[in-house]
Homo-oligomer: A and B are copies of this chain.
């Protein structure tokens, strides 16, 4: 189930009442999860929490002590419920101050668009002391990094552009690849042989995921890990396993 090589770990904090009420379908977890995996960073957990200061502060402190990286999304806009920067400053025990470069960028942006740089918009220039900016190519208002915490916007398009600007600076772990084999056998038919393969290929993570196809049920067998030689071997073994159980293989 594990690799022997150590890898950087991460936690993701999705902040916003609208995610918990079902009003908004989160799309940030899947994006960040797959991008971190491609870099060899293990996303160990994600939490979805409400816009409540004490809850946000506690979650940040708990997760930043435990993981190489903490990424947050949401709560850095101009309105009263945008409290992430305040909470990160409180969690770090530092002041929240106007960051001169953030202020400069925002003033130039608002001026160019003939938009009033009112107090609410300029809240977005505040950064915990010691933090550095995360660029926002989409709508300028920056995120920030302080210690191992990376604070990003909640709107997926903006979050993605922010993530791409920090991505090259993140540590890399052993590259985690995956192979998958699709078949028409039920999980209950595959389970025993799959368990034996998992025991044999202990450097890989084997999983099975049911899915619906137009002409019936499928199970996708997935093997993941950084042991590339083992991945190649297990793919052949998974295919033989399906055939020996009288199952049919499908292209992915």
Q: Which residues of A contact B (CB under 8 A)?
A: 17-27, 29-35, 37, 43-51, 55, 77-81, 115-116, 118-121, 123, 155, 178, 186-192, 194-195, 198, 205-210, 222, 224
Contacts and interface: CB of A to CB of B under 8 A. Distances in A.
B29 A48 contact: yes
Contact of A155 (B32, B78, B210, B222): B210
Contacts of A81: 198, 206-208
A192 B120 CA distance: 7
Nearest to A209: B18
B77 A18 contact: no
B55 A50 contact: no
B49 A37 contact: no
Q: Counting chain B CB atoms within 10 Å of each CB, which of A116, A208, A224 scores highest? A: A208
Contact of A195 (B26, B43, B79, B207): B79
A20 B33 contact: yes
A198 B22 contact: no
A22 B45 contact: no
B22 A37 contact: yes
B20 A77 contact: no
Contacts of A206: 80-81
Contact of A188 (B21, B24, B121, B190): B121
